[in-house]
Amino acid sequence: MRASTGKLPTGFGRLWTAQTVSSLGDGVTHAALPLLALTLTRDPMALAVVTAAGTLPWLLFGVLGGALVDRWDRRRTMWVADTARAALLAIPAAAAALDVLSIPLLAAVAFLLGLGGLFFDTAATAYLPDLLRRDSVLLERANSRLRGAQTAMSGFVGPPAGSALLALGRAVPLLTDAVSFALSALLVRTLPAMPRPVPEVRESLLRQARAGAAYVFRDRVLLGLALRPAVGNVAFLAVETVLALFAHERLGIDTYGFGLLLTAEATGGLLGAGIASYLGRRLGTGTALTCTAAVEGLAMLGLAAAPNPYVAGLALAVCGAGMGATMVLAPSLRQAIVPAHLMGRVASTSRMLAMCAAPVGAFLGGWLATTYDIRTPLYAAAVLLLAMTAVTASMTSNRRVEEALRAAAPAGGPDHPVAKDPVHEGAPDLV
């Protein structure tokens, strides 16, 4: 197959910068919001309400939000969403300054921020393949940079910055995030306009949402790509629920050491995002996805059996690398094969499946640890991940991926390059 000879357009640099700045603000708020709630109450249920409120928009409006994004101009949707989030954060910042902040207000803000994130993320996912003309090589390169920046800003820089800014005043981290959204909105407004997708026959929003979800479930490649994060979230949330207790009781790790343990996973995630394109070129996208999924399962098995913190840290780093690579390869493939007029609905359907699976994983982890042993959720997660690898391997094999890319190519028209799988001629299809 031909390799892509194109370069990332100038507009991508502005999109990358906007999302990097916004991810920094997200990391600040991710750390500051629970700490702000902690200054108001010690009730675990009240704290859980604030945390859960941010995920509710995806559960309630995920597919409908995708249908709206497919109707709207994607660039405008992004900058309006970020402008609205910047204005929204001024409310709790003012409440904190006036000492009238409350748990209901924080929960409402978390919900509305999540709703804005739904529209921004879905629109950005749909805008990127238009900007890069659905060139799968460029999409992998772009998603690698976006994922790496997101991990660095929201995983490494943002949380400690949020904690430090909170020490300066309760309003400071909120205002910092508001500034990040405002800067992102300004940058997004300078992006090149993309032609809107050819509109479908006018249908109700609900009917269009159902059509987008049905498109995912009818296509074996897209269904395989959607099942990975859905099953993965069950496994990873089962582990996350008991990880702190496992680290303390079985590995003898204190609070500071637990932070380092999580940093090891994030470091692996950065490495995985960086090598994702190489894996895709070397093995083929389908086989690379199967390998990264298997690596996640085996790494989780290593974590479950870890006799000390060093082995546990290595296992989490390897698992993070598998996750990082997957989160570059899978979205890039989806963006290359999904028609433009369905991109918002397909992306939001996949994201909603993953979000709905998270509470199942949290409950499963707590139940297994209570009923059996603290290591049991980790072993169960490893089994789930390896079983998911076996089930989806044939759904996203190199052969199926190449067929999907060839089928998608004519839809781009003469001004769009043929969608390509970054795989060498003769790369092995191991599944």
Phi-psi label, residue 284: left if phi above 0, alpha if psi -120 to 50, beta otherwise: left
At residue 12, what are phi and psi to the nearest 5 degrees? -65, -35
Q: What DSSP string describes 107-156?
A: HHHHHHHHHHHHHHHHHHHHHHHHHTTT-HHHHHHHHHHHHHHHIIIIII
Side chain identity at residue 164, one-letter code: A
SS3 of 40, please? coil
**pLDDT for residue 394:** 95
Q: For residue 129, give the amino acid letter.
A: P
Q: Are 86 and 178 in contact (CB under 8 A)?
A: yes
Phi and psi angles of residue 190, each rounded to the nearest 5 degrees, phi first:
-85, -5
Distance CA 337, CA 12 (A): 20
State how far the Cα of 431 lies from the Cα of 423, in Å rounded to an integer: 15
Element (DSSP H or E) covering residue 68: helix 56-71
Q: How far apart are CA 77 and CA 38, in angstroms?
A: 33
H or E segment and range at residue 272: helix 255-283
- Say which residues have a Cβ less than 8 Å from residue 164's Cβ, sequence separation at least 6: none
d(CA 164, CA 157): 11
Instruction: Read off the amino acid at residue 250.
Output: R
- pLDDT of 420 reads 40
Say what the pLDDT of residue 426 is.
39
Distance CA 164, CA 167 (A): 5
Asked if residues 323 and 270 have their Cβ atoms less than 8 Å apart, the reply is no
DSSP string of 141-197, one letter each residue = HHHHHHHHHHIIIIIIIHHHHHHHHHHH-TTHHHHHHHHHHHHHHHHHHTSPP-PPP
The tokens of 164 are what? 């430090």
State the Cα–Cα distance between residues 53 and 350, nearest whole angstrom. Answer: 20
Rounded to two decimals, the pTM is: 0.81
What does the pLDDT read at residue 429? 41
Full 3-state SS string of 201-219? CCCCHHHHHHHHHHHHHHC
Instruction: Report the pLDDT value the prediction gives residue 34, as an integer from 0 to 100.
Output: 75
Contact (CB, 8 A) for 32 and 50? no
The predicted pLDDT at position 409 comes to 76
What is the pLDDT at residue 428?
Answer: 39
The single-letter code of the amino acid at 334 is: R
Do 289 and 256 contact (CB within 8 A), yes or no?
A: no
pLDDT tens-digit profile, the chain (431 residues):
434 546 888 889 999 999 999 888 888 887 788 778 878 887 767 776 787 788 788 888 888 999 999 999 999 999 999 999 999 999 999 999 899 999 899 999 989 998 999 999 999 999 999 999 888 889 999 999 998 888 888 777 887 788 788 888 889 989 999 999 999 999 999 999 887 765 555 678 888 899 999 999 999 999 999 999 999 999 998 898 788 788 888 998 876 677 678 788 888 999 999 999 999 999 999 999 999 999 999 999 999 999 999 999 999 999 999 999 999 999 999 999 999 989 999 999 998 898 888 888 888 888 998 899 989 999 999 999 999 999 999 999 999 999 999 998 754 443 443 334 433 333 434 33
Question: What is the residue type of 204?
Answer: S
> Would you state the pLDDT for residue 69?
92
Please state, as a whole number, how many other Cβ atoms lie within 10 Å of the Cβ of residue 35: 14
Instruction: Tell me what pLDDT residue 201 has.
Output: 55
